[in-house]
């Protein structure tokens, strides 16, 4: 059993090291140019040929290893479902005084589900990238980064203690930074990578404090120890600046702060849309299916703590609901095909957190599982569109593309149906379940979340169909040359789409009983802990009919409005935007969060930096040091060094002068 899990976790690392060190070293001798954004056709606009003439084995090696890893993960998943859980110690890792953090793999249903999600999506993205990045001169580096990311993510989901989880957490942060800024000759890519890195460090600061607090309270960072002792700490407080603060609530909120950063929740969401600067396969892997769901996974893993911290749960619900609503509202007016899907991801993560917050952890994990398929499908489908359109990402420069790229259109259609919750698709089972549990919570925050999620469902349907109609239907707005060269993607890019489409259609229907049905307690085992008075799943099956149908009605309404706006009466959107100018500007500018943060944090930070640089560094340190005392010493020493001439008669003359002065002094003193 242990060999299987060790292979799953370490094969991607092996691939990353061999491809990264071997592939790039071989290629360095060929003399590669700096990374440029791709020109997918063999000729770009200037007629220059772009091709890759380096070794092919790094890409094939990493892809092959990941496909094998994905196969092993599915075997492991059914093993765990059959009751094969446990803990595998890999190595003694950190031991300092009473603090012990061994490197161990925690094998239960929660890590099993995540292994399947991470390796399946990652392997498909690797295959897709063989086509998408075919002309990029830096393929070995790209594939090495992808595999490194997968390894870090697998480390995170199999972690048996908080420190190991933090290691994986920072590892995916590093890989995300490297991949977003992959085309580092683009200023915008560098800025986006730095933004993602910095915003995530804000969340990680909270996560780190949460780990310190857990160790201070429980004397351990291992999950089993923390979970066993959590009950005794319920209701206990500690003193902080003369306030009495609840211990478990504090730990839960600090850990959730980390989750907010990684999962781009409201207030720490600003990095995710900018992260679309990376190559499209990166968006599908990191910003749709795997890394951004790490925050949701963290809350699920720490369910025994959250169950005992009701206030922290309420915060999770409110933040999730606001994120779902906020991101959906911004998605309504975005024009970049990848950014629309990015805001959609942000919004869907909000849904998952609402489920976690009301105690329906299995429902949240179910949506995480199904969402991975259809969101990765949408991102890779968008990549296929960008590929066909010679790297154009603005949907208003497309239109009428369906006849040119019929298969991509069909795949995007399946993804859209699943995302909007069309009956019997994956999204229908998982998203609607979240809306039901929000209502079934019968609490103030639950009802608040319910209405925001229903509104978000309407907006989700609208912006998804808007994307489909504007991109694939109606009159074309693309140039004649672009359309003449528009072509379907190669099979290596289409096959992953077919597999994901199958998941988007079937994952909900096939797995719903396991994740949230009658046998759900058996399926999750001890991986998710619900308190004795948490009967949310029981209440979920008793919600009124109108609640059950609300999401489906919103889906139909969103479709109808989008059809009216973009097919039947295309002049309407502009009239509406003009009539509601202030509201339109507000949403188009993403609620002015970037501008607000620029004012509150970025400019003051730069001003402070300039103050220290000009005032502190130049005036005080340089003024006193190199330009002050040091400069004077130099001046004096250069003057005195002139007295050292090397002529004997100069020295004799100086000695005579000295002797005369001495004699004079003695005479005067004696007199």
User: In this structure, are residues 511 and 136 in contact, taking their beta carbons and an 8 Å threshold?
Assistant: no
> In the prediction, which pLDDT does 26 show?
57
What pLDDT is attached to residue 2? 87
Return the closest-CA partner of residue 304 out of 535, 497, 527.
Answer: 527
DSSP for residue 422: -
What is the model's pLDDT at position 24?
Answer: 62
Residue 47's alpha-carbon distances to 41, 42, 43, 543, in angstroms, are 10, 9, 5, 62
Burial of 665: CB neighbours in 10 Å, binned 0-12, 13-18, 19+: exposed
- Tell me, letter by letter, the H, E, C secondary structure of 158-192: CECEHHHHHHHHHHHHHHHHHHHCCCCCCHHHHHH
In the numeric block, which tokens belong to residue 308?
């005992």
pLDDT score at 490: 93
Element housing 79 (H / E)? helix 57-81
- What pLDDT sits at residue 50? 54
Query: 439-453 burial by CB neighbour count: b if 16+ within 10 A, else e?
Result: bbbebebbebbbebb
Tokens of 418: 């699943």
**Beta bridge pairs of residue 238:** 245
Angle, helices 444-472/310-331, rounded to nearest 10 degrees: 20
Question: d(Cα 309, Cα 307) in Å, to the nearest integer?
Answer: 6
DSSP 3-state percent helix, strand, coil across the chain (nearest 5): 75, 5, 20
CB 56 within 8 A of CB 98: no
Q: What is the pLDDT of residue 46?
A: 30
pLDDT tens by residue, 230-273: 999 999 998 888 889 999 999 999 999 999 999 999 999 999 99
Distance (Å, whole) CA 270 – CA 594: 7
- On whether the CB atoms of residues 452 and 471 are closer than 8 A, the answer is no
Residues of the chain predicted below pLDDT 50: 30-31, 40-49
Tokens at 164, concatenated: 């190991």
**CA-to-CA separations, 5 to 10, 507, 565, in angstroms, rounded:** 9, 24, 51
| Torsions phi, psi for 643 (to 5 deg) | -70, -20
d(CA 228, CA 629) in angstroms, rounded, equals 63
pLDDT at 36: 60
Q: What is the pLDDT of residue 205?
A: 96
268 CB contacts (<8 Å, ≥6 apart)?
199, 202, 203, 260, 261
**Residue 628: what pLDDT?**
84
């Amino acid at each position: 059993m242990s060999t299987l899990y060790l292979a799953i976790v370490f094969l991607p690392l092996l691939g990353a090291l061999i491809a990264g060190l071997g592939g790039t070293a071989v290629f360095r001798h060929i003399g590669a140019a700096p990374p440029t954004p791709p020109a997918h056709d063999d000729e770009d606009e200037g007629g220059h040929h772009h091709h890759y003439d380096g070794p092919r084995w790094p890409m094939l090696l990493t892809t092959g290893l990941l496909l094998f890893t994905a196969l092993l993960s599915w075997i492991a998943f059914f093993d765990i479902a059959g009751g094969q859980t446990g803990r595998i110690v890999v190595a003694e890792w950190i031991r300092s005084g009473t603090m012990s953090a061994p490197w161990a793999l925690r094998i239960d249903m929660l890590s099993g589900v995540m292994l399947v999600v991470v390796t399946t999506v990652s392997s498909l993205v690797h295959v897709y990238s063989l086509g998408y990045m075919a002309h990029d001169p830096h393929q070995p580096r790209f594939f090495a980064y992808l595999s490194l990311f997968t390894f870090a993510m697998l480390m995170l989901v199999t972690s048996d203690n908080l420190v190991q989880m933090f290691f994986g957490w920072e590892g995916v942060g590093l890989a995300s930074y490297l991949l977003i800024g992959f085309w580092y000759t683009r200023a915008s890519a560098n800025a986006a990578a730095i933004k993602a890195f910095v915003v995530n460090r804000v969340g990680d600061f909270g996560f780190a404090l949460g780990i310190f607090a857990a160790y201070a309270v429980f004397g351990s960072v291992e999950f089993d120890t923390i979970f066993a002792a959590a009950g005794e700490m319920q209701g206990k407080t500690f003193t902080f600046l003369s306030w009495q603060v609840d211990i478990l609530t504090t730990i839960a909120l600090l850990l959730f702060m980390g989750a907010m950063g990684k999962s781009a929740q409201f207030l720490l969401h600003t990095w995710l849309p900018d992260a679309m600067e990376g190559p499209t396969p990166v968006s599908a892997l990191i910003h749709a299916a795997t890394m951004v769901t790490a925050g949701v996974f963290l809350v699920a893993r720490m369910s025994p703590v959250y169950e005992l911290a009701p206030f922290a749960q309420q915060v999770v619900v409110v933040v999730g609901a606001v994120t779902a609503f906020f991101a959906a509202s911004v998605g309504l007016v975005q024009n970049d095909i990848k950014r629309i899907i990015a805001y959609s991801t942000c919004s869907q993560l909000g849904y998952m957190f609402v489920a976690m917050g009301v105690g329906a952890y299995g429902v949240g994990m179910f949506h995480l599982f199904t969402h991975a398929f259809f969101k990765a499908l949408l991102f890779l489908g968008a990549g296929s569109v960008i590929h066909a359109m010679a790297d154009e990402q603005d949907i208003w420069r497309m239109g009428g593309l369906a006849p040119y790229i019929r298969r991509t259109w069909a795949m995007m259609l399946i993804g859209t149906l699943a995302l909007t919750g069309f009956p019997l698709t994956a999204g229908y089972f998982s998203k609607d379940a979240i809306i039901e549990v929000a209502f079934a919570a019968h609490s103030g925050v639950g009802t608040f979340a319910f209405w925001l999620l229903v509104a978000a469902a309407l907006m989700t349907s609208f912006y998804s169909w808007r994307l489909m109609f504007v991109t694939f239907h109606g009159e074309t707005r693309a140039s004649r040359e672009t359309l003449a060269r528009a072509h379907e993607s190669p099979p290596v890019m289409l096959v992953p789409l077919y597999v994901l489409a199958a998941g988007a259609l079937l994952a909900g229907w096939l797995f719903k009983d396991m994740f949230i049905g009658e046998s759900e307690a058996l399926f999750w085992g001890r991986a998710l802990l619900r308190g004795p008075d948490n009967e949310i799943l029981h209440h979920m099956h008793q919600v009124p009919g109108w609640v059950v149908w609300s999401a489906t009605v919103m889906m139909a309404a969103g479709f109808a409005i989008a059809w009216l706006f973009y097919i039947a009466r295309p002049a309407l959107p502009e009239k509406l935007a003009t009539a509601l100018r202030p509201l339109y500007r507000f949403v188009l500018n993403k609620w002015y969060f970037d501008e607000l943060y620029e004012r509150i944090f970025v400019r003051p930070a730069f001003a402070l930096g300039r103050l220290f640089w000009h005032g502190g560094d130049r005036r005080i340190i340089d003024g006193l040091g190199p330009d002050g005392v040091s400069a004077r010493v130099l001046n004096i020493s250069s003057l005195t060094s002139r007295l050292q001439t090397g002529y004997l008669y100069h020295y004799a003359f100086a000695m005579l002068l000295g002797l005369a002065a001495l004699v004079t002094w003695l005479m005067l003193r004696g007199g």
